[in-house]
Amino acid sequence: MTGFARPRKKTLAIAAAAVVGLSLAGGGAYAAFSPRNTDDVVVASDVIDIAKGDVEEKVLADGEVAANKYTSLTTSLLGPVKDLKVQLGDHVNGEQLLAVMDTVAIERQIELEQASKAAAATANQNQLESAQQQYSQLREQYQQGATPEINAAVAAERQAASSLESAETAFQHRQTDTVAGTDPALREQHLTLQAARDEQRDAALNLVRVNADTIYGVVMTEAGQPGMLADAVATQDRVNRADRDLAEKQKAYEQRLLEVDRELAELQTKVRDASAAHSEAVVAVESARLAALHAIDTQRLAVEQAQETAATGTLASDVTTKHLSLDIAQAEVRSPHGGIITELAATVGAPVEGVLMTVADDSTLKVTTTVKESEVGKIKPGAEVTFTTPAAKDKTYQGTVTHVAPVAQKNETPAESGKAKREFPVEIKVTGEKEGLHLGASTKINIVTKKEIGALTVPREAVLKSPEGHHVIILVPEGEKHRVKKIPVGVGVQTEFDVAITSLDLKAGDKVVSDPGKYAEDVDKLVRIREQ
């Protein structure tokens, strides 16, 4: 049989040598110590009492104290740090002022932005006033009949009308002197020709109006109305028909006049040319009028655009100024919560790239550690933890496992020549007293993986293990002596030194030998307990 820890036999050898030495010294010494002449003896130092208490199986690890939350403070400002209110390791409160950034460059940029805004506002206002003035002038000219283009066209039309009247008068005078003046057929042709001239002039005027509306619609909407193109085509067709009809009637009438009187025919030719010139002049007046109206409306739109520009032209500048003002508001860096300054990169007078400082919320602490691959399976969230730290040697702190990482982290050590040692991160929440704990401090951790409360306990080496199971050797009192008994036991939670056992035949206070292999052959014998 063997125990949980193999006992060393050196003590037995020394004791045997001592007995031999005493026997050589004389019979008295031999009689006093030789077991042949006395009952078997159990050395008192090999006897202990079965205790009752709590037994915990633990995983040991080294860890580090950390805050549960770290907040890195940054700034979007590119300027240097103007003032620094804290030092590394300082305790701070929520909303406490930590640093102030230099905003001189931003303030100058705001001033430039405001000057640019004022200049733009003045320019926009001037443009609006100019547009309004031009619009008013165009309207007044039109309303008062002072539009130069219209007046020129009207003058040309009057001159063309006068020429037409003269030609018609000469024609009529000659007509009364000839048979044409009394010929009903010629008079009918003359009336028909006059109607064709009126139709050609009206068609041409209508074409001018339709084309003007179409062009205006395209300019204003960038895509005209669907019916505009169809109206223009239909009106052009009407003009073409009127031109053909007038030409046919003019030719027939002139041929008939030649048959009556050549001079009358020539006078009719002059009437024809004067009528065409007058028709073109009438169309030119309408075109000038429409152009003037369109110019007025175009200027009206220019006024509206200038008004919109004046109202919104500085909007971009306002947005930029607002953003710059928000940047100035961020010049004061305040703590988002209470805690300790654990990192401080900011330096007065120097710009900061990245993190200004880090605030650790030490209202809740945790301990971080890693455990071996062979032990991670024993640890579950919720497991009890005790730990110590060199800064508070006399204190034992309490904690609870909150997280066991399912993924290992690989740690390479130089001695292993690149071989990775797999360890699993574990986080532990500090649940008890925190006084004396410092962030970053090292810890010695005991993670309880199994626990029995009020169990019978004996040293690990007091338990014999054999194919038949686990046993302990106890000493049962019989008068002044003790009977050596071998008792089967169940084995529970084990520590480095103790083991919890179960047996209906045992109770707390029973004497058990701590080196059962030494007395295995003395089972059922009576023995004496002797001090060494």
Q: Does the pTM exceed 0.75?
A: no
**In angstroms, rounded to a whole number, what is the distance separating the alpha carbons of residues 47 and 49?**
7
CATH code matching the domain that covers 57-72+358-451, chosen among 3.40.50.620, 2.40.10.220, 3.10.129.10, 2.40.30.170: 2.40.30.170
- Could you tell me the residue ranges of all domains in the chain? 2-55+453-530, 57-72+358-451, 117-318
Percent with pLDDT over 90 in the chain: 41
Binning pLDDT at 50, 70 and 90, where does residue 141 land?
confident
Confidence of residue 126 (pLDDT cuts 50, 70, 90): very high
Average pLDDT in the 33-59 region?
78
Tell me which of 215-224, 242-251, 254-263, 330-339 is least confident: 215-224
d(CA 196, CA 246): 5
Q: Quick one: pLDDT band at residue 472, thresholds 50, 70, 90?
A: very high
Q: Is 342 in contact with 76 (CB distance < 8 Å)?
A: no
R_g of the chain computed on alpha carbons: 60
Residue 122 has pLDDT above 60, yes or no: yes
pLDDT of amino acid 217: 54
pLDDT at res. 229: 59
Q: What ranges make up the beta strands (E) of 405-478?
A: 409-412, 420-430, 442-459, 464-466, 469-478
Model pLDDT, residue 526: 94
pLDDT of 193 above 90: no
Rounded to whole angstroms, the Cα distance separating 135 from 142 reads: 11
Q: What are phi and psi of 55, to 5 degrees?
A: -120, 130
* Cα–Cα separations (whole angstroms), residue 287 to 205, 231, 239, 283: 8, 18, 16, 6
pLDDT band for 313, please (50, 70, 90 cuts). Answer: confident
Q: What is the mean pLDDT of residues 310-314?
A: 81
Query: Each residue of 352-371: pLDDT tens digit?
Result: 878 999 999 988 999 999 99
Q: In the predicted model, what is the mean pLDDT of residues 154-180?
A: 87
User: What confidence category does residue 458 fall into, taking pLDDT thresholds of 50, 70 and 90?
Assistant: very high
The string of pLDDT tens digits covering residues 514-529 is 999 889 899 999 999 9
Give CA–CA dist 461/472, Å, rounded. 10
Q: How far is CA 323 from CA 130, 147, 172, 331, 415, in A?
A: 33, 51, 86, 13, 56
Q: Which pair of tokens denotes residue 193?
A: 């020709």
C-alpha to C-alpha distance for 266 and 254, rounded to whole angstroms: 8
Q: If we measure between CA atoms, which residue out of 159, 434, 361, 181 comes closest to residue 277?
A: 159
Pairwise CA distance, residues 61 & 442, whole Å: 11
Helices (H), 177-223: 184-221
Would you state the structure tokens that stand for residue 84, as one six-digit string?
Answer: 């620094």
The pLDDT score that the predictor gives to residue 442 is: 93
pLDDT digits (tens, 9 = 90+) for 47-100: 999 999 888 888 999 999 999 899 999 888 888 999 999 999 999 999 999 999
Q: Any idea which fold 2-55+453-530 has?
A: 2.40.420
Q: Cβ(96)–Cβ(475) under 8 Å?
A: no
Stretch 28-32: mean pLDDT: 36
The whole-number pLDDT of residue 457 equals 94
The reply to whether 57-72+358-451 shares the fold of 2-55+453-530 is no
pLDDT of 510: 93
pLDDT over threshold 70, residue 31: no
Distance CA 430, CA 437 (A): 10
Q: Looking at the predicted structure, is the pLDDT value of residue 22 above 50?
A: no
- The confidence band for 216, taking pLDDT boundaries of 50, 70 and 90, is low
Confidence (pLDDT) at 329:
76
| Amino acid 9: pLDDT | 35
* DSSP-derived secondary structure letter, 181: G
What is the structure's pLDDT at 159? 94
Q: What value does the mean pLDDT take over residues 276-295?
A: 89
pLDDT band at 19; cut points 50, 70, 90: very low
Neighbours of 486 (CB within 10 A): 16
Closest CA to 207 of 186, 237, 227, 180: 237
Residue 322 to residue 117: CA distance in whole angstroms: 13
Q: Which two tokens stand for residue 143?
A: 């309303």
- Weakest-pLDDT range from 12-21, 113-122, 301-310, 375-384: 12-21
Q: Does 280 have pLDDT greater than 50?
A: yes
Looking at the chain, the whole-number percentage of residues with pLDDT higher than 70 is 86
The residue with greater pLDDT, 417 or 343, is 343
Q: Is the pLDDT of residue 1 over 50?
A: no
Q: Which tens digit of pLDDT belongs to each residue from 475-496? A: 999 989 999 999 999 999 988 8
